[in-house]
Amino acid sequence: MPWFVKIEEGIVDKATFDRYVPAHKAFVKDLIAKGYEAKTGYWGCFGGGMLMFKAKSMDEAEKIILEDPLIRNHCVHYKLYEWKVVVE
């Protein structure tokens, strides 16, 4: 399965964002349990973060990220990319 990357930028205040972080972490753990090999984190130097995961197609990847609590609760703007791995 190909890799997909969601790059995101926070658009709400920290208190609102932090309210949805536990649900986001649970969402990512569920992706891992389902075999999507998900990883999530944030940028150390400025606001925003990234979610990496495997999916069968861009359509499936889009459906997956629309379930992310950070997106469902309008906490971030995001872009979704298929990441073409060159070296493993």
The model's pTM: 0.91
CA 5 to each of CA 19, 21, 42, 49, 61: distance values in angstroms, whole numbers, following the listed order: 23, 18, 13, 10, 9
Select 3-83's CATH number: 3.40.50.300, 3.40.50.20, 3.30.70.1060, 3.40.50.970.
3.30.70.1060
Phi/psi zone of residue 35: left (φ > 0), alpha (ψ -120 to 50 degrees), beta?
A: left
Q: Alpha-carbon Rg of the chain, whole angstroms?
A: 13
Q: What is the pLDDT of residues 31-83, one digit of tens each?
A: 999 999 999 999 887 778 999 999 999 999 999 999 999 999 999 999 999 99
Domain coordinates of the chain in residue numbers?
3-83
